[in-house]
Amino acid sequence: MRQKLVAGNWKMNLTYPEALALVGEIASLAGESGAANAPTVVICPPFPFLHGVGQQLPQASNFHLGAQNCHQKESGAFTGEVSAKMLASVGCEYVILGHSERRQYFREDDELLGQKLKAALAAGLKPIFCVGESLETREADETFSYIGKQLTDGLFHLSNEEFAQVVIAYEPIWAIGTGRTATSAQAQEVHAFIREQIARAYDAQAALDTTILYGGSANAQNAKELFSQPDVDGGLIGGAALKAADFTTIIRSF
Ligand code: 13P
């Protein structure tokens, strides 16, 4: 079901003691936000911190643990890799897939992402599936066709039941880590487009039910404006998720 959701993607940052201190601070600042209208909050630390951070999450039932990636196979001789089943076994409920950094630096393509999506869903994880265009694509006026293709090739092969488990994150690459946020109008326009494409691929109800997050230099100052857009259901937060006070402000920005 569509929900208000804020996910913190910690990327490859912090040491274990720093990670525990950060989640402790978030817990003490936001721990009481378990009110009925509080958004779902997903904390996505690096793999080695997952279990420990999960133990320290605020008791409020709206807090959940997520991972930043998973391997496509369930188990086996894949030295250095982590399966979706392993993630579920340490308390993960979500996994980020298709982040532009993984597409770019680790050459993850639609075919591989398709396998990862299936593996995540089979393990009972909810994928947070990222799409987003480069600056070059935006300036060439090809944003919609590019995102449309990412959705069709990357996501719309899922069955209705599988798709219902997916959260989509629109993260324009030019806005990630640059301090250059999309305007709320730019975000809304792409989110509305994504919803339209879901309605075409599945049906109108699926489109209404899908949670669509914005990511890319979202912060404590601009979250309220972004989240006020009708098709923006929350955020996938990078840098600002590493500061407890800022992250808590973002959680309260609906
Ligand atoms: P920033 O919020 O640091 O721009 O990162 C966004 C992001 O990539 C979240 O996945």
Percent over 70 (pLDDT), the chain: 98
Least confident of 21-35, 47-61, 171-185: 21-35
Categorize the per-residue pLDDT at 1 as very low, low, confident or very high, splitting at 50, 70 and 90: confident
Can you tell me which residue has the tokens 């990222």? 130
The answer on pLDDT for 34 being more than 60 is no
- Among 26, 90, 88, residue whose Cα is nearest residue 58: 26
For the stretch 196-250, pLDDT in tens is: 999 999 999 999 999 999 999 999 999 999 999 999 999 999 999 999 999 999 9
Please indicate whether residue 157 is annotated as part of the active site.
no
Rounded Cα distance between 119 and 21, Å, is 32
CATH code of residue 147: 3.20.20.70
3-state secondary structure of 74: coil
Alpha helix positions (H), 60-182: 84-89, 100-105, 110-122, 135-139, 143-154, 160-163
In the prediction, which pLDDT does 61 show?
A: 80
Does residue 12 register a pLDDT over 80? yes
Structural domain count of the chain: 1
Which protein residues touch ligand 1 with a CB less than 6 Å away?
Answer: 9, 99, 171, 176-177, 215-218, 236-240
Given 99, 101, 108, 133, the catalytic residue: 99
Q: Which residues are annotated as a binding site for substrate?
A: 9-11, 177, 217, 238-239
Active-site residue among 101, 108, 133, 171?
Answer: 171
pLDDT of 36:
59
What pLDDT does 132 receive? 98
* Mutation pick for ligand 1 pocket among 44, 171, 180, 242 (CB with most ligand atoms within 8 Å): 171
Q: Is the pLDDT of residue 111 over 80?
A: yes
| CA 77 / ligand 1 centre spacing (Å) | 32
Q: Which of 34-43, 155-164, 177-186, 225-234 has the lowest mean pLDDT?
A: 34-43
Residue 31 confidence (pLDDT): 65
Determine the distance separating the centroid of ligand 1 and the alpha carbon of 7, expressed in angstroms: 10
Residue 122 lies in domain: 5-251
Total residues belonging to the chain: 254
